[in-house]
Amino acid sequence: MKKAIFLDFYGTVVHENGPQSYKVIERVFNSGNANTPEEVVQHWSRSFQKRLEGAQGKNHRLQYDLALESFEEVLDHFNSKENAKELCDMMVDHWCNPPIYDDAVKFIRHSNFPIYFVTNSDDSFINQAIHNHGLQANGIITSEQAKYSKPMKEIFLYALEKAGLKAEEVIHIGDSLRSDIECAKAAGIEAIWLNRYNKPVPKGITAASNFEGIPKYIS
């Protein structure tokens, strides 16, 4: 029997991108030699993810510091003269003020289960975002606290310990197959893929296209 819901935040409850992050992409594209804005996004994502996956456990570093280094590398790669810190601070504004999905708000506010956010984030970013959107949660577990980031299962093991729950008592909901679904399952937690863009669903994966389709899977 489930006793609580673990819920991803960025990309699941709130949009992965917003006005500020799109401005960052546009500025790098307009000032450098990238062929398309999408090329900027893909290169930054790879650069950031590489640093994130190398910053686990005793090597943990704040998301802000990793993002700043990634911007410095991206600007150099695309021969852009933009200021890395200025762009990074714009991303912080996005992380603190992301647009929210209406169906997520309804789901959280009417949930019959305690909600715990489990997210790759510095504490200050998600705390500000939750405050700005007037959300309530029974707990907030971040990579800053756990010293591990998804897709490392240790962040979920830490979340279970902090919440005082067993893996079989929790269900996790998230938008990333690798970072949310596979990672949660590695920690023994049942997971539901929030597949907003109706991508092909791999065999053995439970998926819903929005939060309205989630309740039937939770009992």
One pLDDT digit (tens) per residue for the chain, 219 residues: 899 999 999 999 999 999 999 999 999 999 999 999 999 999 999 999 999 999 999 999 999 999 999 999 999 999 999 999 999 999 999 999 999 999 999 999 999 999 999 999 999 999 999 999 999 999 999 999 999 999 999 999 999 999 999 999 999 999 999 999 999 999 999 999 999 999 999 999 999 999 999 999 986
pTM: 0.95
The answer to whether the beta carbons of residues 40 and 29 sit under 8 Å apart is yes
